[in-house]
Amino acid sequence: MLKPDLLKAKIRTKEEVLTKTNEYIVKENLKQLGLNKKYYVKTYGCQMNEHDSENIKAILEDMSFTETDDMESADLILLNTCAIRENAHNKVFGMVGRIKNLKEKNPNLIAGICGCMAQEEVVVNEILEKYNFLDIVFGTHNIHNLPNILYTAINKKDLEVEVLSIEGEVIENIPVKRNSKYKAWVNIMYGCDKFCTYCIVPYTRGKQRSREPIYIIDEVKDLVEKGYQEVTLLGQNVNAYGKDLNINYDMSNLLEDVAKTGINRIRFVTSHPWDFNDSMIEVIKKYDNIMPYIHLPLQSGSDSILKLMGRRYTKKSYIELYNKLKSALPNSSITTDIIVGFPNETEEDFNETLDVVNTCKFDGAFTFIFSPRVGTPAAKMADNVSLEEKNQRLYKLNELVNKYSKEANDRYLNKIVPVLIEGTSEKDESMLMGYTDTMKLVNVKAPKEYIGKIINVKIKEIKTWSMDGEIAE
């Protein structure tokens, strides 16, 4: 058993991170382990977590398992979890209860937990105490070892826990089963060294490790050849890309090289305001295939709260960066993340946040109530704000955010915009859906042949969370 250790997860060494190109191996005797067996993977977290699920699925298929979207009929269930807020935890443990029932009906069912919750010491202790009917727990650093973990669990018929707390090498040969044929996630870096005081990610994902540029570019070139239209470059703090590589190559260089592959659309998430430099802005402006869409988390508009959060920018410098981006890229859309109810946030602090929202008029915002995460500094801060107060602030903030998001959408009425058509609309089977270059969801009445293509759409109606349009060509 290898349990996670929060103290170890905090450690950052100067040791060079190696790239391994042959670390993932499925031994001959494991290639048929999943023959005639079905797997079900449920994903709870961010884009990186989704992409991990794409890797996990491909690994399982290398072992002859086949996918099902019906959990009840699966022989193997994996919950790929997120640890960012408490409600993510609760959802997972609710599902674990359902799995217990399924296991009572089918004693051969193998079930496990992976992802960011598996990296948390408290969670693994809880599983060992209360949910030890599960078969496997593995972390974010040992996905490549899944074949061996699974084999051990099946043979010992007991809970197998393998969670490395210290990140290892960057492993380049993990297979991937992509959810979409048109747009793809591409990791550019793993981990995060920012240690914002509320955030669990630096502990669950380890130290910042950038992939070497050559592997990223080759992956994108391969996607272009396969007909992909869009890539999203993924990292917790993509603007810091390359800083750990010691090769004098940063995010602006990477963006430029990815743009030169000729892929039609490039997106990147998430940008921390701290590392957003001028050369990045120049490159985004220069290349038409870098989308004019930036997710720029604010978290709070109050300088004292930002300081307590360890965000390394001020209200003023955030607004300056915002204005710089808007003047360089006037047609861009900018979205953000905001936390309300950080420990001891006063009414004035909260008003500063509202003030930034009124100044920036974001295209959209994800808003959250602060959730204390065990092991982070903010979880230890005394807090005098009631939950009722926090809920009221969230409500007020959402009203303002929604107002500006509607205003931003209203500007699209009767405009012609490029949309990458991804498939049929969830709500109305007769409509197709896709996203504009600026990441607005559009439903279009168009024949299915358009799926996978970028088409010009004239926007005819604005709704709260989407727009309806018709083909303009």
Q: Enumerate binding residues for ligand SF4 (CB under 6 A).
A: 192, 194-196, 199, 201-202, 236-237, 272
- Interaction partner, residue 202 (ligand F3S, ligand SF4, ligand SAH, none; CB < 5-8 Å by kind): ligand SF4
- Alpha-carbon span 437 to 223, nearest angstrom: 19
- The region of 133-141, 197-205, 241-249, 447-455 touching ligand SAH under the rule CB under 6 A is 197-205
Of the two residues 144 and 373, which places its CB atom closer to ligand SF4 in the complex?
373
The answer to whether residues 37 and 9 touch, using CB atoms and an 8 Å cutoff, is no
- Interaction partner, residue 116 (ligand F3S, ligand SAH, ligand SF4, none; CB < 5-8 Å by kind): ligand F3S
Does the footprint of ligand SAH cover residue 371 (CB under 6 A)? yes
- Interaction partner, residue 259 (ligand F3S, ligand SAH, ligand SF4, none; CB < 5-8 Å by kind): none
Residues recorded for the chain? 473
Give the contacts of 472 (CB within 8 A, at least 6 positions apart).
Answer: 416, 455, 456, 457, 458
Q: What number of CA atoms fall less than 13 Å from residue 416's CA on the CB side?
A: 6
Q: Which of 373, 390, 393, 440 binds ligand SAH (CB under 6 A)?
A: 373
The answer to whether residues 300 and 345 touch, using CB atoms and an 8 Å cutoff, is yes
- What does the binding site for ligand F3S look like in residue numbers (CB under 6 A)? 45-46, 48-49, 82-84, 115-116, 200-201, 204-205
Measured from the CB of residue 49, what is the shortest distance to ligand F3S in angstroms? Answer: 4
User: What is the per-residue DSSP string for 4-51?
Assistant: --HHHHH----PPPPEESS-----GGGTTTTTT-EEEEEE-S-HHHHH
- Interaction partner, residue 337 (ligand F3S, ligand SF4, ligand SAH, none; CB < 5-8 Å by kind): ligand SAH
The answer to whether residues 309 and 299 touch, using CB atoms and an 8 Å cutoff, is yes
- Work out the end-to-end distance of the chain between its first and last CA atoms, rounded to an integer number of angstroms: 60
Does the footprint of ligand SAH cover residue 268 (CB under 6 A)? no
Nearest CA to 99 among 51, 49, 135?
A: 135
Measured from the CB of residue 402, what is the shortest distance to ligand SAH in angstroms? Answer: 17
Q: What number of CA atoms fall less than 13 Å from residue 70's CA on the CB side?
A: 3
Show the 3-state SS of 61-103. Answer: HHCCCEECCCHHHCCEEEEEECCCCHHHHHHHHHHHHHHHHHH
Does the footprint of ligand SAH cover residue 297 (CB under 6 A)? yes
Of the two residues 33 and 201, which places its CB atom closer to ligand SF4 in the complex?
201
- Alpha-carbon span 62 to 33, nearest angstrom: 9
Which amino acid would we find at residue 286? K
Of the two residues 187 and 252, which places its CB atom closer to ligand F3S in the complex?
187
Residue located via tokens 């399982």: 60
The answer to whether residues 149 and 159 touch, using CB atoms and an 8 Å cutoff, is no
Measured from the CB of residue 199, what is the shortest distance to ligand SAH in angstroms? Answer: 4
Measured from the CB of residue 206, what is the shortest distance to ligand F3S in angstroms? Answer: 10
Q: Which residues pair with 234 in a beta bridge?
A: 187, 269
- Interaction partner, residue 436 (ligand SF4, ligand SAH, ligand F3S, none; CB < 5-8 Å by kind): none
Residue located via tokens 């669950």: 204
Does the footprint of ligand SAH cover residue 362 (CB under 6 A)? no
Does the footprint of ligand SAH cover residue 270 (CB under 6 A)? yes
Chain positions 65 to 84 lying near ligand SAH, rule: CB under 6 A, are 84
Of the two residues 116 and 280, which places its CB atom closer to ligand F3S in the complex?
116
Of the two residues 81 and 409, which places its CB atom closer to ligand F3S in the complex?
81
- The region of 194-202, 344-352, 403-411, 460-468 touching ligand SAH under the rule CB under 6 A is 194-202
Which residues are at the interface with ligand SAH (CB under 6 A)?
Answer: 84-85, 198-199, 201, 236-237, 270, 272, 297, 299, 337, 339, 368, 370-371, 373
